Amino acid sequence: MSLYDRISRLYDELFPVNPAAVEAIESMIPREAEKRILDLGAATGGHARAFADRGWDILGIVNF
């Protein structure tokens, strides 16, 4: 069993989404850019969900 398998149920508590970080990342992307994000190693999808809630199209890839 991998470390991720052992902590997956607690992952969002251990590594919560920081709304300020989401805003900072979004502010670095030009306004005229397509609102599409590829989340490599998406874990539980918390960050992908945060961007989707802000109107972004998300593709999250998780390594199984």
pLDDT tens digits, the chain, 64 residues: what are they? 788 778 878 988 999 999 999 999 999 999 999 999 999 989 889 999 999 999 999 999 987 6
pTM: 0.81
> Token pair of 14, please?
């251990």
Q: Which of 49, 60, 61, 62 is CA-nearest to residue 19? A: 49
The values of phi and psi at residue 30, to 5°, are -55, 140
